[in-house]
Structure 1
């Protein structure tokens, strides 16, 4: 396993143990980075207007289209580290 993969797995475990729940925009960013890192570019149909949360998740993930999976993993790790140190919310 490469270093970025190991750091990504560790960050994924650590994010679930944060002392404080991040804000909604940060949660969307974490979601989108995780999906891009694990699944690649967004696929499937965009949820309809009745699924507001699904629509926002889809749009956040779609905004990362073209981002390499390793780059998404690195950004995810950096975001989790900033949350742990209290620099982001």
Structure 2
């Protein structure tokens, strides 16, 4: 799984599988999935942190910001592993 193309293929498959999980993950896990996906796809968080009244966007931003500096391959592997764990 060291080849970048293979990793991207596995990542894309995990994204598709995330829509077919046997049950909806809890909010903490959903935030982790979001952050790993964004870090693996887009790199470090950018833009301004959402305001206090936008709770969901702020939580997503903060979860993604916690992964700042994590390389895309590591984030993708983390996402793939978490989806595999959630599949059971």
Q: Which residue of 2 aligns with 1:5?
A: 8
* TM-score for both structures, normalised by structure 2: 0.94
Shift in Å, 1:3:
1.3
Shift in Å, 1:46:
0.1
TM alignment of 1:54-65, pairs within 5 A: 54-65=57-68
Residue-pair matches, total: 85
Kindly report the root-mean-square deviation, in angstroms, between the aligned alpha carbons of the 2 structures. 0.8
Which portions of structure 1, spanning 4 or more consecutive aligned residues, are displaced by more than 6 angstroms?
none
TM alignment of 1:7-46, pairs within 5 A: 7-46=10-49
Match of 2:76 among 73, 76, 82: 73
Query: Does the alignment pair 1:52 with 2:55?
Result: yes
* TM-score for both structures, normalised by structure 1: 0.93
Matched position secondary structure for 1:25: helix
